Amino acid sequence: MSTGRPRDPEVDRRIARAALDLFGDAGWAGFAMETVARRAGVGKASLYLRWNSKQALLTDALTSSLPHVSDVDTGTLHGDLVELATQILDVYAGPASRAALRLQLEAATIPGIAEHYAALREAQIQAARAIVRRGIGRGDLPATTSVTLLLNTVIGGAMMHALTTPPDKRAALAEDTGLEARRLVDFLWSR
């Protein structure tokens, strides 16, 4: 039994990048397999050999190429919050930032994506909450600390920083999100 020609990881990356760029530029209403193929420099048949629908293509591109928020444990709450803020900045200041914003706005209305996005968001929320709860457990924060308020402040601050950075400074932010995350957490930590 022949397994066919192996998939080229570089082609897969180009397709994922083109899919995220198109989704970020045009949203779901403007998302078409033909346009993704053209942007990626591949034939439309190549897309249909890999994905049977535009929902499957976008889900795969989001899963493989969009930065994710995950649980981290550096040993200190301060370090964990810096890593969390860095992850948020990577999502909203990085190359897939427009797709991440579109996803926030449109995910619930896209069949097949809505369920995937809801599960992803829930996992990210639980990971972020685990970071703060672990810090409270270590005594880094009082037991009465509002986990939600702390996370809203850190994550909201990182998102707003990414979204309000002038276009001519976005590349510099994307290059060193760790530095900006540390500055944000240091500012909050000193209060």
| Domain residue ranges of the chain, discontinuous segments joined by + | 9-64, 67-189
Structurally, what CATH architecture does the domain formed by 9-64 represent? Orthogonal Bundle (1.10)
Got the DSSP string for 20-47? HHHHHHHTGGG--HHHHHHHHTS-HHHH
Residue 65 has pLDDT above 60, yes or no: yes
Are 33 and 62 in contact, with CB atoms under 8 Å apart? no
Q: Using alpha carbons only, give the angle 162, 91, 26 rounded to the nearest 5 degrees.
A: 90
Confidence (pTM): 0.86
pLDDT score of 6: 57
Q: What is the CATH number of domain 67-189?
A: 1.10.357
- Where helices occur in the chain by DSSP H, the ranges are 9-26, 33-40, 44-50, 54-65, 77-93, 97-106, 113-138, 147-164, 170-175, 177-189
- Tens of pLDDT, residue by residue over 95-134, are 899 999 999 999 999 988 888 888 888 989 999 999 999 9
pLDDT band at residue 1 under the 50/70/90 scheme: very low
